[in-house]
Structure 1
């Protein structure tokens, strides 16, 4: 019997101080899927007065990590990319939804959409290496 997606993500969040600093809240998680949110704070802005691209990337990357590990098999990122579609501002609530596109024995591909309300602000693609190691049953 493998560990549930909820327990895996709870353990990951408990040990992920960066995601905690971002203020991430897990909204939904199931096998191959994660939905999380955060609010943009002043210290996340760049010199143009908009959110630093690394913030939306990091939010998407956390959703990607949660979705890709939710299968019970440990997974680590090997390639990622992001398209910043719209600027993001202080006070914006961002929701990142990560979904599995495909998996094989050793690789997984995921697509993460970052929204502000109904508006798509970023599109992230990622590939993970699926280690031959399971999350421990707890």
Structure 2
């Protein structure tokens, strides 16, 4: 992975207000790959005391965002299809792992898996980005 792109993405993620608000932590990234963590606590519960789908989606989206922009070309989401498999337990550290499946000059496809502390599959996402050929990450 290009070191300038890595530094730029790290800086952007660290400054991203929404990610900081949710306590999202970028653990690892490489070209076409990102691993992001989030602690499931009461601030992320729905009306039934379970994990709010929006919180899990936000974790997925953060990993997707980093992985898809890791090539240094701005990538914007076109479609995300999420299937929720199991409810995490309170206190779980949720991990979203985004992996590139296929990339062309204009689009790229990713699979994002969310697991709980014990490895239970919490959610699975298939996502597609549009790669903007005229917008490099470093020029922004």
CA contact (8 A) 1:36 1:63 kept: yes
Q: Which runs of 5+ in 2 are unaligned?
A: none
Which ranges of 4 or more aligned residues in structure 1 deviate by more than 4 Å?
none
When the two chains are superposed, the root-mean-square deviation of aligned CA atoms in Å is 1.7
Residue by residue over 1:62-87, the C-alpha shift from the partner in whole angstroms, topping out at 9 and shown as x without a partner, is 00000000011110101111000001
1:85 aligns with 85
Does residue 1:136 correspond to 2:138, yes or no?
Answer: yes
In the superposition, relative to structure 1, how do residues 136 and 17 fare at CA in structure 2: closer, same or farther (>3 Å)? same
CA contact (8 A) 2:4 2:138 kept: no
Q: How many residues in Structure 1 have an aligned counterpart in Structure 2?
A: 137
Q: Which runs of 5+ in 1 are unaligned?
A: none
1:112 aligns with 112
| TM-score, L = length of structure 2 | 0.90
| TM-score, L = length of structure 1 | 0.92
Counterparts of 1:100 and 1:4 in 2: how far apart (Å)? 20
CA contact (8 A) 1:8 1:72 kept: no
